[in-house]
């Protein structure tokens, strides 16, 4: 089975990123499933390793990713200087070294030295203090890979939710909702479900913007003037889109179980039900990019850092998902290069082996 090289950016050095990374990678099953490549500093890793109290954590320190040890945990030393760590604090150092880690991992992703990227959480204020010019990971990756559009896609076994708008103040959301934007996001979601998740004919539910989905125009008109026309046009293009649905009753009645994914209009409309149902094992996936990038569903956890309380489950799932999505996408591309090509027995064996390792890893961590 091909062992994928999974790059890991360490996020804010003052947060729980390295704690969940270390807890995840301390299980030897992970290195049987993939080749982890941490972008940071062996000194920083050792500092957090002592806090977490993990004794058995062996790694190989390297300057570059040109000659990785596929059976070991690799740490790419992105800087040599000593760093002042202030756990749980916003600082320019937290933003500076998170930026360096991210930049180096993306460079290696562009060069093909790693296959996918899993990002640990950053703090937006720390990144701002370090003069990071982007609102977050997503916008940086869009620029680096020349992507005009992408989709914030929250994924778990129970629920998959994409967003039309991401981290926008509520007083700006309505003005950002257009028929064209909904159609663009729907297209990315549809293609992602087909290519990266292997769902041949995905069904997608679209939520309304206003309470009760506008209540026939009594509470708002966006459903009738923007959202419903987008759904109709998407169907004409072969997308199995349905809605708009009133968000509260849609989730409250478990109607979401009938669909492969949900497209929400704004951040909290989608993420509150998602995190209420899946917190701790959900994954944030940036759909629509030419590369695979996942991250855990939590932030820097400044309130619990240094107390050995952080749950690594979401980060572990982010690694598993990065592996699955890379393989699914590669398989889809290979099969559609030649329509008569069928899955080989080797691919089936890969799936079985990876699935068995994953189940054993989850069982051990539970």
Note whether 329 and 196 are same-domain residues.
no
Spell out where the chain has E strands. Answer: 4-9, 34-40, 59-62, 73-77, 116-119, 151-155, 160-163, 203-207, 240-245, 261-264, 283-287, 293-296
Q: State residue 122's pLDDT score.
A: 97
Note whether 308 and 266 are same-domain residues.
no
Q: How far apart are CA 176 and CA 189, in angstroms?
A: 18
Q: State residue 358's pLDDT score.
A: 63
Note whether 5 and 104 are same-domain residues.
yes
CB atoms within 10 A of CB 363: 9
Q: State residue 349's pLDDT score.
A: 52
pLDDT tens digit sequence for 223-270: 999 999 999 999 999 999 999 999 999 999 999 999 999 999 999 999
Strand 116-119 and strand 4-9: pairing? parallel
pLDDT greater than 90 at residue 279 = no
Q: How far is CA 133 from CA 105, 120, 173, in A?
A: 17, 18, 23
pLDDT greater than 90 at residue 165 = yes
Note whether 54 and 34 are same-domain residues.
yes
180 versus 366: the higher-pLDDT residue is 180
pLDDT greater than 70 at residue 59 = yes
Q: State residue 28's pLDDT score.
A: 84
Q: State residue 357's pLDDT score.
A: 59
DSSP single-letter state for residue 122 = -
Note whether 143 and 40 are same-domain residues.
yes
Of 236, 253, 286, which residue sits at a domain end? Answer: 286
Q: Which whole number is the average pLDDT over 175-203?
A: 97
Q: Is 308 left (phi over 0), alpha (psi -120 to 50) or beta?
A: left
Which 3 state secondary structure label does DSSP give 266? coil
Cα-based torsion angle of the residue sequence 275, 94, 48, 365 in order, rounded to the nearest 10 degrees: 20
HEC per residue, 192-213: HHHHCCCCCCCEEEEECCCHHH
328 versus 55: the higher-pLDDT residue is 328
Q: State residue 208's pLDDT score.
A: 97
Structural domain tally of the chain? 2
pLDDT tens digit sequence for 302-335: 999 999 999 999 999 999 999 999 999 999 998 8
Q: State residue 336's pLDDT score.
A: 81
Helix (H) or strand (E) holding 14: none
Note whether 101 and 66 are same-domain residues.
yes
Q: What average pLDDT is seen over the chain?
A: 92
Contacts of 337 (CB under 8 A, 6+ apart): none
Q: How far apart are CA 167 and CA 330, in angstroms?
A: 31
Domain span at 314: 1-147+289-366
pLDDT greater than 80 at residue 149 = yes
Domain CATH number, residue 64: 3.40.718.10
Q: State residue 167's pLDDT score.
A: 87
pLDDT greater than 90 at residue 300 = yes
Using an 8 Å Cβ cutoff, are 329 and 116 in contact?
A: no
Note whether 137 and 214 are same-domain residues.
no
Of 286, 314, 343, which residue sits at a domain end? Answer: 286
Q: State residue 200's pLDDT score.
A: 93
Note whether 128 and 213 are same-domain residues.
no
Note whether 21 and 143 are same-domain residues.
yes
Q: State residue 353's pLDDT score.
A: 52
- Model confidence at 164, in pLDDT bands (50, 70, 90)? very high
pLDDT tens digit sequence for 80-126: 999 999 999 999 999 999 999 999 999 999 999 999 999 999 999 99
Note whether 208 and 242 are same-domain residues.
yes
DSSP single-letter state for residue 331 = H
Note whether 273 and 297 are same-domain residues.
no
Note whether 222 and 358 are same-domain residues.
no
Which 3 state secondary structure label does DSSP give 140? helix
Q: How far apart are CA 122 and CA 136, in angstroms?
A: 8
Of 268, 286, 304, which residue sits at a domain end? Answer: 286
- Model confidence at 55, in pLDDT bands (50, 70, 90)? confident
Distance of CA 183 to the CA centre of its chain: 22
Q: State residue 58's pLDDT score.
A: 83
């Amino acid at each position: 089975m091909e062992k994928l090289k999974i790059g890991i950016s360490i996020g804010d050095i003052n947060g729980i990123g390295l704690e969940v990374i270390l807890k995840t990678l301390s299980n030897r099953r992970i290195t049987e499933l993939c080749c982890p490549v941490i972008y940071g500093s062996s000194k920083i890793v050792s500092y957090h390793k002592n806090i977490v109290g993990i004794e058995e954590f062996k790694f190989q320190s390297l300057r570059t990713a040109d000659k990785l040890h596929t059976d070991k945990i690799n740490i790419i030393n992105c800087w040599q200087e000593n760093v002042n760590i202030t756990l749980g604090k916003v600082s320019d150092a937290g933003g500076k070294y998170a930026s360096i880690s991210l930049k180096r991992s993306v460079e290696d992703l562009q060069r093909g030295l790693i296959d996918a990227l899993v990002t640990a959480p950053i703090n937006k204020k720390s990144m701002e203090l370090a003069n990071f010019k982007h609102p977050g990971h997503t916008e940086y990756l869009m620029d680096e890979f020349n992507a005009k559009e992408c989709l914030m896609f929250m994924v778990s076994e129970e629920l998959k939710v994409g967003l039309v708008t991401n981290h926008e103040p509520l007083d700006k959301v309505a003005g950002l909702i257009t028929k064209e934007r909904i159609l663009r996001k729907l297209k990315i979601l549809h293609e992602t479900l087909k290519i990266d998740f292997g769902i041949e004919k995905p069904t997608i539910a679209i939520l309304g913007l206003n309470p009760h989905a506008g209540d026939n125009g009594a509470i708002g008109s966006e459903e009738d003037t923007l959202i419903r026309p987008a759904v109709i046009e998407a169907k004409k293009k072969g997308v199995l889109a349905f809605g708009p649905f009133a968000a509260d009753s849609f989730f409250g009645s478990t109607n979401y179980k009938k669909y492969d994914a949900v497209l929400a209009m704004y951040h909290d409309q989608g993420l509150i039900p998602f995190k209420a149902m899946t917190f701790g094992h959900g994954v944030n996936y940036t759909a629509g990019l030419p590369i695979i990038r996942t991250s855990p569903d939590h932030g820097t956890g400044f309130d619990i850092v240094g107390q050995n309380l952080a749950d690594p489950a979401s980060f572990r799932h982010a690694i598993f998902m990065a592996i699955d999505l890379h393989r699914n996408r590669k398989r889809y591309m290979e099969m559609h290069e030649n329509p008569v090509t069928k899955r080989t027995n080797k691919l089936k064996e890969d799936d079985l082996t990876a699935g068995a390792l994953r189940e054993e890893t989850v069982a051990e961590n539970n």
